[in-house]
Amino acid sequence: MAGEMFSVEGRVAIVTGSGTGIGRATAMVLAQHGADLVLAGRRAELLERTAVSIRDLGRRALVVPTDVTDSDACERLVDATMEEYGHVDVLVNNAGGSINKAPEEWTVAEWHQIVDQNLASVWFMSRLVAAPMLEQGRGAIVNISSGASFLALPMVAPYGAAKAGINSLTRSLAAAWTSSGVRVNAVACGAIKTEGYNKSTKQAQRSDEVVLGPGNAIGRIGQPEEIAYPVLFFASDASSYCSGQTLWVNGGVKAPTTS
């Protein structure tokens, strides 16, 4: 019975940004627990690689190359999902990213790029999947946020603002839809070893294994799978009494060194 609570057998999950990192790990964990997948992202070759791994597990995988900053492309993604599977039960809004610059160096175009990629995409996708989820009376939306939404990180100010927006949007959409069976939660990531994080450490001329920003109690960076399992929790019936929550998965809070 306990294991069944984490099962997503027979459910269809859309995972954006599922070619690498947290998105790929999440898609794999959901497939391992019974879900069929829709894989979305900009780099088709990476999505296809994830799809092969999912099919090797005996699950179905539909690849839909998508720029989630384009609302029309998001609509095509959901339409393709419904045409292929007939229903959608889980949405993981994972696509995102940032660049590191002092606030005064950001251009207007870069601001829009980061806000659209991290926040507008969540709005577009959530509203689109809500219609079939509300009609069937069940669904789970999981948004990937960041510890930057809680911290003062000057080199990623627009990114932190967008992720804080995700936390607020998570609460608002949960308030709107939970009573109709659609739960909305978020996972705020600490330092996780991804392609984007490796770019940040390289720019900072630091080791790929260093924890950038305020220290964490566990003393290491996390792996993508360590975010994927909290996502599984929110996607499954194990979290049936949770909605509107943002879970900060960061290795534990630790005060930064002062000497």
At residue 166, the pLDDT reads 98
| Burial readout 12-32 (b: 16 or more C-beta within 10 A, e: otherwise) | bbbbbbbbbbbbbbbbbbbbe
Minimal CA–CA distance to 166: which of 192, 142, 200?
142
Alpha-helix runs per DSSP H in 94-146? 108-115, 121-136
> What is the rounded radius of gyration, in angstroms, for the C-alpha atoms of the chain?
18
Other beta carbons within 10 angstroms of residue 135's beta carbon come to 12
Structure token pair of residue 34? 């019974």
At residue 257, the pLDDT reads 59
Angstrom distance (rounded) from CA 232 to CA 53: 18
Angstrom distance (rounded) from CA 32 to CA 136: 24
At residue 70, the pLDDT reads 98
Q: What is the CATH number of domain 3-249?
A: 3.40.50.720
CB 97 within 8 A of CB 146: no
pLDDT in tens, 40-53: 999 999 999 999 99
The residue ranges of the chain whose pLDDT is under 50 are: 1
At residue 209, the pLDDT reads 59
At residue 217, the pLDDT reads 85
Domain ranges of the chain: 3-249
Q: Which residues are marked as active site?
A: 159
What is the strand order of the sheet 90-93 is part of? 61-65, 36-41, 12-16, 90-93, 139-146, 182-189, 246-249
Cα atoms found within 13 Å of the Cα of residue 170, Cβ hemisphere only: 29
